[in-house]
Amino acid sequence: MNLFDLRIGLGFDLHRLEPGRKCILAGVTLPHPTGPAGHSDGDAVLHALCDALAGAADLDDIGTLFPDDDAVHRGQDSAEFVQRMMAEVRRQGLAVVNTDIVIATEGPRIAPHRAAMRARLGELLGVDASRVNIKGKSLEGLGALADGAGVAVQVVCLLAPQACA
């Protein structure tokens, strides 16, 4: 394998947390009185992951591929977006090497759900959960997302040719 065969992508997403919405992050439902607002299920982790995959595989971003003004996507499980992205990644002969994820929020606590999130993402990406890292970060009461107002997610994803991953 040539070092230049490796492909890295960066994804970012941000959602308000609103009462009455299911709190779904990384494909896992968390017990919390607020959840990410969005046209689909609002899963900011899966949305950022899609953009990281898209960046690494030279695909259009999630908003272009799955527009929020398309009624088909209203309330949709964001895992379907990841599955469709992964189908394209595989079609290009690529596979996920690993992904590293930061979830910044003062809403739901991430640590108690980390193992379930890693397992679900490993399943969606076709890799062992040990290749999925998730870190929950507090916002220390600073900024527009303080006081549990929202969730911000940053994802880095490394792809390699399938024979090497």
Tokens describing residue 100: 């590293």
Tokens describing residue 118: 């890693």
> What distance in Å separates the CA atoms of residue 147 and residue 39, rounded to the nearest whole number?
23
Backbone angles phi, psi at 56, to 5 degrees: -70, -30
pLDDT, residue 48, reads 98
Question: Any idea what the CATH number is for the domain that residue 147 is in?
Answer: 3.30.1330.50
CB 139 within 8 A of CB 145: yes
Percent of the chain topping pLDDT 90: 77
Q: Which residue has the higher pLDDT, 122 or 73?
A: 122
Count the domains in the chain. 1
| pLDDT, mean of residues 111-134 | 98
Please return the burial class of 66, using the count of CB atoms within 10 Å of its CB with bins 0-12, 13-18 and 19+. buried
pLDDT digits 0-9 by tens, 57-105 = 999 888 888 877 777 767 789 999 999 999 999 999 999 999 999 999 9
pLDDT, residue 2, reads 73
pLDDT digits 0-9 by tens, 35-57 = 999 889 999 999 999 999 999 99
Q: Which of 57-66, 125-134, 147-156 has the lowest mean pLDDT?
A: 57-66
Note down the domain range covering 120.
3-161
pLDDT, residue 123, reads 98
**Residue count (the chain):** 165
User: Cα 30 to the chain's mean position, in Å?
Assistant: 15
pLDDT, residue 52, reads 98
pTM comes to 0.94
